[in-house]
Amino acid sequence: MQVTLLPDDIGIADLTVSPDAPPRSPGLHQSDLIKGLLKELEPERFGKPLDALRIEMGFAFERMLEEGLKRKFPGIFRPFEIQVEGVAMSPDGYDAASNTLEEFKATWMSSRHGIEDKRFWHWLVQIKGYLYGLTTHTGVEHTTARLRVFWVNGDYKGSGPQLASYRLEFEPREIVENWQMLRNYARRKGLLP
């Protein structure tokens, strides 16, 4: 058998999953705030450029899960971009039957520490931000989210890939404090008046 490595005729751009997502508006997004915050807090981990292939894999997972959930639970949809106090945010999904935010993640980190581990702090910041946005937008308190995680390498101890869903319930106070933190960061950086 002869094996020849072929020249690069496929790149990241070819892998891009055509997003069915609402167009991202220019301007300040919650993800910009969280990224900036993480670079300050953990420059070693978040100061480096992200791995584009892993990002695309993450998008691919989000789209597949979005389609799958829509088929199984017709009440779940991807909502329009929400604007809150000058910050745009795009939740992955919303379950109209239970007023629950849906968020999807794919990660190469180990599942064995659980999502309350500090490694996943930024996921919770993002989710609480979305819940604040939904509350502000609808006038009805949103405190519950469902987080669906594809642990690509599972627990790294022989589990293999794992797919898990978590129900997260927050105190309203946690959601407001989280938003104040993001807003304060934005103001400190001059991104919000």
Partner 1 sequence: MAGSLRPSEAKSGGLLDDADVTIKQARFVRYDYGGKAEKPALALAVEMVDAENQAHIEYYSAGDLKFFIPTADGKGYDTVGEKTVLYKSCNTIQFLESLVKAGFPESKLGDDISVIDGLKIHVSRVPQKKRTFQDGRKAKEDATILLVDKILGEVAAAPAAVDLTTKAIEAVQKALAANAGQLPAARVALEVFKVVGKEPHGADVLKAVTPEFLSAAGRPWLFDQAAGLLIAQ
Binding site for partner 1 (CB under 8 A): 7, 13, 22-23, 25-28, 35-36, 39, 77-83, 94, 96, 99, 137-140, 189-193
Residue 116 has φ and ψ, to the nearest 5°, of -85, -5
In the complex, minimum distance from the CB of residue 93 to partner 1, in angstroms, rounded to a whole number: 10
The nearer residue to partner 1, 75 or 161, going by C-beta atoms, is 75
In the complex, minimum distance from the CB of residue 157 to partner 1, in angstroms, rounded to a whole number: 36
Distance CA 5, CA 138 (A): 54
In the complex, minimum distance from the CB of residue 182 to partner 1, in angstroms, rounded to a whole number: 15
In the complex, minimum distance from the CB of residue 168 to partner 1, in angstroms, rounded to a whole number: 20
Is the separation of the CB atoms in 136 and 158 below 8 Å?
Answer: no
In the complex, minimum distance from the CB of residue 88 to partner 1, in angstroms, rounded to a whole number: 10
Q: Tell which residue, 81, 103, 70, has the closest CA to residue 170.
A: 103
In the complex, minimum distance from the CB of residue 80 to partner 1, in angstroms, rounded to a whole number: 4
Angle (CA) 97-102-105 rounded to 5° is: 160
Distance CA 164, CA 151 (A): 8
Is the separation of the CB atoms in 143 and 96 below 8 Å?
Answer: no
Distance CA 40, CA 89 (A): 21
Distance CA 97, CA 144 (A): 12
Task: Convert 128-137 to b/e letters by CB count within 10 Å (16 or more is b).
Answer: bbbbbbbbee
The nearer residue to partner 1, 1 or 5, going by C-beta atoms, is 5
The nearer residue to partner 1, 49 or 158, going by C-beta atoms, is 49
The nearer residue to partner 1, 158 or 193, going by C-beta atoms, is 193
The nearer residue to partner 1, 92 or 150, going by C-beta atoms, is 92
The nearer residue to partner 1, 27 or 161, going by C-beta atoms, is 27
